[in-house]
Amino acid sequence: MTKNILIFESSPRKQGNTAVLARQASEALISAGVEVETLHLHGMKIAPCNHCDGCLRKKQYCVIEDDMQAIYPKLAAADGVILASPIYWFTFNAQLKTCIDRWYGLWQNDHAFFKGRPAGAIMVYGDADLYISGGINAISTFETMFRFMGAAPAGFVYGTANDVGDAEKDEALMESARQLGVRMAERVSV
């Protein structure tokens, strides 16, 4: 049975540095025989969770009718995920945060949906420092979320890439993204 990884790519720049690194990881996964679907969150209609608990009362992922309804079955069936975001104002961007907040309903209906599945993250920022940029805050949040959900962290890719094209010029950063894809492929193949 073919394994699949879902990549949540949240940059508003479809050809920006985050997207380039996500594609690098995706290509490594595809080369290893893993199916990949990349969801470009920017431009999708995803409302914030309003904590109505309709997911609990109605025993469904969520009662809000928006683009998350098509994402839920993909997320529930995915063998692993990669979260890719630029760092905006000291953490990952709102597009990704809003989507992750909506995982609440999926988790409420199946606490083990993420258990043991590999998860990774890709982040780029404009500052030269992981701490000053806020990238460290995103890493901390991802680590805590993965631990809470029982996921198996496969790694974090991060670096300075402010202007479009910067990621492609950074061989080490590109290799780090490729290696994330390799590790994810190895973990879903076990």
Q: Which domain holds residue 65?
A: 4-189
Question: Model pTM?
Answer: 0.96
Please tell me the predicted confidence (pLDDT) of residue 16: 95
Q: What tokens appear for 32 in the block?
A: 């290893």
Per the structure, the count of domains in the chain is 1
| Helix or strand holding residue 103 (H, E) | helix 103-109
| Three-state SS at 47 | coil
Amino acid found at 64: I
Q: Domain containing 66 — which CATH number?
A: 3.40.50.360
Mean pLDDT per block of 10 residues along the chain (190 residues) reads 94 95 98 97 96 92 96 97 96 97 94 95 94 96 97 97 95 98 92
Tell me how far the alpha carbon of residue 70 is from its chain's centroid: 16
Please tell me the predicted confidence (pLDDT) of residue 190: 65
Please tell me the predicted confidence (pLDDT) of residue 189: 82
- How many whole angstroms separate alpha carbon 167 and alpha carbon 17? 5
